[in-house]
Amino acid sequence: MTQTADTPIADLRSQLRGEVVDADAPGYDESRRVWNGAIDRRPLVVARCLDEADVQAAVRFAVEHGLEIAVRGGAHSMSGASVVDDGIVIDLAAMNQVTVDPATRRAVVAGGALLGDVDAATQAHGLAVPAGLVSHTGVAGLTLGGGMGWLTRLGGLTIDNLLSVRVVTADGQVRVASESESPDLFWAVRGGGGNFGVVTEFEFALHEVGPLIHYGLLFWSLDRGLEMLRHVRGVIDTLPDDVNVIVGAISAPPAPFVPEQHRLSPGYATIVVGTGTAESHADVCAALAGGVPPLFEFTTPMPYVELQKMLDDANGWGLHCYDKGCYVTELSDEVVDALTTHVPEKTSPMSIVLLYRLDGAFSRVAEDATAFGGGRSPRFGVFVIGVCPSPELLPAERAWVRATADALRPAAADDGIYVNSMTEFDAVSSVQAAYSPGKYARLVEIKTTYDPDNVFHRNANIVPALP
């Protein structure tokens, strides 16, 4: 796609209710900033849309002037897909309204909302959408890739709770997609990322959750990793439906509940979240601690909205990051060996490995019901994330992420990759490898129908078929 330097931005300003920010406008630097501090790009213009008509006008303008489009929801994509050099950023941040109908247990969420916006509105009624762990993540990018977090075992992926979307496609038209209307498009947006257009509205089914949940953190030192991982896998295999466990190689938080001498020490943890009774949560914590005694443990009831914000500060804007992911079907000896060999070699204390448990409601959804990149058999979603505070430290963390991901590869499931865990696409973790051959072929077909010229390509790109 060609880019033009003399684009009539004044035209665009006259068509939008929202602000149009170019390099000469105050606030330009703020408007091009994304979550990953390693990304620094200079768009020609940022269209801060206020409503669906603004989005339509921005898409039409971009296509007419041959401008490359980046669509921005919460700006958390590791690769910086939501900002583009010399092109147009279609920014939905101001479109963050959430409306909840407690009677039908449904929420309508505008395309630029953050997870925290949804949690605040839904928890007012004791309801929730299963989503991610950090409240400043965007609903749009997270949902379009799949969406996994504390409620995945209880309610499935975020896409498993999606009822309909409104999408502005490459021709500037608004399309509604659901099981009964444009079902092909509805299938594709549930896992196929931002390939099919700009989603201006999501409608979700809600689950009863909270307002209080049960939280537990159990932490082991680095040298107990092998024994601890071998023990916890047995407990995780038999979890009740109302408890979820994320296993992590993390540093102990500098929190008051952590004994002072252990704060910021590297090690392994299980984070245990119960949405049912205190007893079932306590039983799981006791079983996890029962094999290899943790260095410390902490359990408490807490509001669900607080749980959702607990990791916000540790994952603040401006950190320099690089991520790679895979699925493993079990914490086999091979996986445990790969982790315990590589985790001690990270140089930044902020770098982490997280293993999200995916079973229960996640596995009750048919493999081909959505375009999700990955199978539905019980498994762990593994994220290896290099995180550091400054650019000069990133090359070492990137090398560590790659080495750890390479070591896990022989044990990885070969039925897909979670597109939201990919920072870049290479020969091994290509977009094609993210989907089963059948899903990929169907995605190409639907992409060719709705976006034949590949207008929306700053994503895990599905390339349309040639005419």
Ligand X SMILES: Cc1cc2nc3c(=O)[nH]c(=O)nc-3n(C[C@H](O)[C@H](O)[C@H](O)COP(=O)(O)OP(=O)(O)OC[C@H]3O[C@@H](n4cnc5c(N)ncnc54)[C@H](O)[C@@H]3O)c2cc1C
Cβ-proximal residue to ligand X, closest one: 141
CB 210 within 8 A of CB 304: yes
Q: Three-class SS of residue 213?
A: strand
As to burial, measured by CB atoms within 10 angstroms (0-12 exposed, 13-18 middle, 19+ buried), residue 282 is middle
The Cα–Cα gap between 398 and 336 comes to 21
Q: What minimum distance in Å lies between the beta carbon of 24 and ligand X? A: 24
C-beta neighbour count of 444 within 10 angstroms: 17
The Cα–Cα gap between 453 and 463 comes to 9
Residues that bind ligand X (CB under 6 A): 35, 70-78, 81-82, 92, 111, 132-134, 137-138, 140-142, 144-145, 147-149, 193-194, 198-199, 315, 420, 458-459
Looking up tokens 């295999």 gives 237
Best CA proximity match to 385, nearest among 38, 30, 130: 38
In DSSP terms, 101 is beta-bridged to: 106
Please identify, using beta-carbon distances, which residue of 52 and 242 lies nearer to ligand X.
Answer: 52
CB 274 within 8 A of CB 280: yes
Please identify, using beta-carbon distances, which residue of 195 and 436 lies nearer to ligand X.
Answer: 195
C-beta neighbour count of 27 within 10 angstroms: 11
In DSSP terms, 69 is beta-bridged to: 88
Please identify, using beta-carbon distances, which residue of 3 and 221 lies nearer to ligand X.
Answer: 3
Q: What minimum distance in Å lies between the beta carbon of 420 and ligand X? A: 4
C-beta neighbour count of 254 within 10 angstroms: 11
Sign of the Cα torsion 127, 131, 137, 139 reads: negative
Q: What minimum distance in Å lies between the beta carbon of 403 and ligand X? A: 21
Please identify, using beta-carbon distances, which residue of 420 and 436 lies nearer to ligand X.
Answer: 420
Q: What minimum distance in Å lies between the beta carbon of 169 and ligand X? A: 11
Q: What minimum distance in Å lies between the beta carbon of 152 and ligand X? A: 9
Q: What minimum distance in Å lies between the beta carbon of 381 and ligand X? A: 8
Please identify, using beta-carbon distances, which residue of 294 and 440 lies nearer to ligand X.
Answer: 440
Please identify, using beta-carbon distances, which residue of 77 and 275 lies nearer to ligand X.
Answer: 77
Radius of gyration of the chain (CA): 22
Please identify, using beta-carbon distances, which residue of 209 and 289 lies nearer to ligand X.
Answer: 209
CB 376 within 8 A of CB 306: no
β-strands 266-274, 243-251 pairing: antiparallel
Please identify, using beta-carbon distances, which residue of 289 and 382 lies nearer to ligand X.
Answer: 382
Q: What minimum distance in Å lies between the beta carbon of 142 and ligand X? A: 4
Say if residue 254 is preceded by a cis peptide, omega within 30 of 0: no
The Cα–Cα gap between 279 and 238 comes to 15
Q: What minimum distance in Å lies between the beta carbon of 217 and ligand X? A: 17
Q: Three-class SS of residue 243?
A: strand
Looking up tokens 């010229």 gives 453
Please identify, using beta-carbon distances, which residue of 32 and 76 lies nearer to ligand X.
Answer: 76
Q: What minimum distance in Å lies between the beta carbon of 422 and ligand X? A: 9
